[in-house]
């Protein structure tokens, strides 16, 4: 009889969202790497959403980029770097699965907002690359104006 109680209790805690899970990084998580400030956050999401492709915009002395996809800070480690050569800005964002993480099964949206600054006024060709376990792929190429 005790074994049945232990099994039921174990199954209850195993399926409960109140059990201690892998520690989640600060939400939002802010990463500064040279000229790049990468702000990453996650939030609850609904199934069936088709996320738009990453976007880039020019602004006052900066280029910003944004992307969103399914995922969570608990299950995914993120990093970023930027290369600026003349009028070409190459943003590299890496998504790495946290293999040992124990996370809730809640469907979440993982979003990043990147800012590259300071930049001189002018037109810039922005290349956004995403990397995961399958390698790095260019997901966006866009021309923006920095004021």
What are the residues whose beta carbons fall under 8 Å from the beta carbon of 137, sequence distance 6 or more?
Answer: 129, 130, 131
CA-nearest of 10, 95, 113, 7 to 59 is 113
Whole-number Å distance between alpha carbons of 133 and 145: 33
Higher per-residue confidence, 49 vs 17: 49
DSSP letter assigned to residue 26 = P
Residue pLDDT, tens place only, 118-127: 999 999 999 9
- pLDDT at residue 96, rounded to an integer: 96
Four-point Cα dihedral 63, 66, 72, 74, nearest 10: 0
Residue pLDDT, tens place only, 24-68: 457 899 999 999 999 999 999 999 887 878 999 999 999 999 999
Whole-number Å distance between alpha carbons of 78 and 130: 10
Is residue 16's pLDDT more than 90? no
């Amino acid at each position: 009889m005790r074994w049945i109680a232990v099994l039921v209790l174990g199954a209850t805690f195993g399926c409960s969202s109140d059990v201690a899970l892998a520690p989640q990084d600060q939400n939002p998580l802010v990463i500064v790497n040279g000229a790049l400030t990468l702000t990453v956050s996650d939030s609850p999401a609904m199934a069936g959403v088709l996320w738009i492709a990453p976007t880039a915009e020019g602004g006052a002395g900066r280029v910003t980029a944004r992307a969103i996809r399914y995922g969570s800070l608990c299950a995914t480690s993120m990093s970023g770097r930027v290369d600026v050569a003349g009028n070409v800005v190459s943003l590299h964002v890496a998504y790495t699965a946290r293999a040992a993480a124990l996370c809730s099964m809640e469907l979440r949206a993982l979003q990043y907002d990147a800012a590259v600054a300071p930049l001189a006024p002018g037109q810039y060709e922005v290349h956004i690359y995403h990397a995961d376990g399958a390698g790095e792929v260019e997901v966006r190429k866009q021309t923006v104006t920095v004021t």
